[in-house]
């Protein structure tokens, strides 16, 4: 082994440079070939992803080791020049260094992993890849309603996690408190409306309650939580001459849009069946009802 290292060290510089270029090309070609073929031997999608990322990482490691061995005799001479240029390199590559530091933070503290739904800054979506420099996210929301995919793929520098909040919808307590607002006319029976809304929302959230309770208990093992109210609630305020009910409930973060659709569908059916005791309200409806009441009084 020592004889081989001495033989490599004795090679002329032009031979070493040529060998470096050829060696990097070969390592890159082998790495790309393994990246395309090796994952197909695994069935699970997450396993294929991890194998692919491991092959890429291994390719970088092999390339670095190859260059270190090839230019080992010259590393000592380069150290002084690198030390002098170090300050300039740090300034020039500050974004690269921040992204690499962000990658270390993401991995060591498990801020998020592939498959998690996160929000960094104003970008929200599902993590589909984490590389050395960037986190790739399939965006949700923006110009589409609810949590549907917009179709855009966002690439966020890893350094962003060092300078702002990171919201993770998937880890720990994966349920959210959400709400819908239902506006009825002031002449509607508010007691009947409250009873109807509580019945509808309780029926809708039954599939989530056990999961939410278990997730909350697990979260208390890692964090100091104050026990919240997980049961649905209905609150009433007057708004623009109408009865405005706010229905609050817990729901799986991936089911927000579907839950709102189910709730409003059932609420619309119940209002239709109320025989006029419950009527949809709006500012124009309230104004018309007030005008009609004034006309009758006069």
- Whether residue 192 is found in the same domain as residue 281: yes
pLDDT at 247 over 80: yes
User: Helix, strand, coil: what percent of the chain each, to 5?
Assistant: 55, 20, 20
DSSP one-letter code for 228: P
CATH code where residue 119 lies: 2.30.30.60
- Whether residue 278 is found in the same domain as residue 191: yes
- Parent domain of 244: 175-294
- Whether residue 289 is found in the same domain as residue 224: yes
Q: List Cα–Cα distances, 289 to 184, 187, 282, 293, in angstroms.
A: 12, 9, 11, 6
Yes or no: say if 170 and 127 are a contact pair by the CB < 8 Å rule.
Answer: no
pLDDT in tens, 36-95: 888 777 777 767 777 777 787 788 888 888 877 777 766 655 555 555 555 555 555 677
DSSP one-letter code for 229: -
Pairing of strands 123-130, 117-120: antiparallel
Mean pLDDT, the chain, whole residue set: 80
pLDDT in tens, 138-182: 998 888 777 788 889 999 999 888 888 999 888 767 788 899 999
Domain boundary (47, 62, 92) is at 92
At 3 the pLDDT is 60
Q: How far is the C-alpha of 118 from the C-alpha of 112, rounded, in Å?
A: 8
Q: What is the pTM of this model?
A: 0.62
Yes or no: say if 76 and 82 are a contact pair by the CB < 8 Å rule.
Answer: no
Yes or no: say if 201 and 221 are a contact pair by the CB < 8 Å rule.
Answer: no
pLDDT in tens, 13-36: 777 778 888 888 888 888 888 888
- Whether residue 191 is found in the same domain as residue 83: no
Q: How far is CA 267 from the centre of its chain?
A: 31
Residues 6+ apart with CB under 8 A from 153: 128, 136, 137, 138, 139
- Whether residue 81 is found in the same domain as residue 118: no
Instruction: Give the lowest-confidence range in 215-224, 258-267, 270-279.
Output: 215-224
Does the residue 225 lie in any domain?
A: yes
Cross-strand partners of 235: 246
DSSP one-letter code for 87: H
Enclosing H/E stretch for 135: strand 134-140
Instruction: Give the lowest-confidence range in 153-162, 181-190, 201-210.
Output: 201-210
Q: How far is the C-alpha of 26 from the C-alpha of 70, rounded, in Å?
A: 15
Q: List Cα–Cα distances, 16 to 61, 65, 217, in angstroms.
A: 19, 14, 61
Does the residue 97 lie in any domain?
A: no
The number of domains in the chain is 3
Q: Which two tokens stand for residue 21?
A: 């270029």
Percent of residues, the chain, with pLDDT higher than 90: 27
CATH code where residue 252 lies: 3.30.70.100
Q: How far is the C-alpha of 296 from the C-alpha of 212, rounded, in Å?
A: 52
Does the residue 137 lie in any domain?
A: yes
């Amino acid at each position: 082994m020592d004889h081989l290292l001495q033989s490599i060290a004795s090679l002329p510089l032009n031979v070493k440079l040529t060998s470096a270029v050829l060696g990097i090309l070969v390592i890159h070609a082998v790495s790309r070939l393994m990246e395309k073929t090796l994952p197909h031997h695994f069935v699970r999608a997450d396993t294929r992803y991890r194998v692919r990322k491991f092959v890429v990482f291994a390719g970088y490691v092999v390339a670095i080791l190859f260059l270190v061995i090839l230019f080992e005799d010259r590393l000592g001479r380069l150290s002084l020049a690198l030390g002098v240029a170090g300050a300039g390199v740090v300034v020039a590559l500050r974004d690269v260094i921040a992204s690499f530091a962000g990658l270390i933070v993401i991995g060591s503290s498990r801020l998020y992993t592939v498959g998690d739904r996160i929000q960094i800054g104003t970008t929200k979506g599902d993590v589909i890849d984490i590389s050395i420099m960037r986190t790739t996210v399939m965006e949700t929301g923006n110009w589409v309603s609810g949590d549907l995919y917009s179709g855009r793929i966002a690439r966020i520098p890893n350094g962003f996690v060092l300078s702002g909040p990171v919201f993770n919808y998937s880890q720990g307590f994966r349920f959210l408190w959400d709400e819908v607002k239902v506006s009825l006319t002031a002449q509607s029976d508010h007691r009947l409306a409250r009873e109807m809304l509580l019945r509808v929302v309780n029926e809708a959230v039954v599939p989530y309650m056990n999961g939410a309770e278990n997730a909350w208990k697990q979260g208390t093992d890692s964090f100091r939580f104050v026990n919240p109210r997980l049961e649905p609630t209905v609150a009433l305020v007057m708004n623009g001459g109408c009865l405005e009910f706010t229905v609050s409930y817990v729901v799986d973060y991936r089911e927000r849009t579907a839950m709102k659709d189910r709730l409003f569908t059932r609420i619309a059916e119940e209002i239709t069946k109320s025989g006029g005791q419950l009527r949809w309200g709006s500012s124009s409806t309230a104004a018309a009802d007030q005008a009609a009441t004034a006309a009758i009084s006069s």
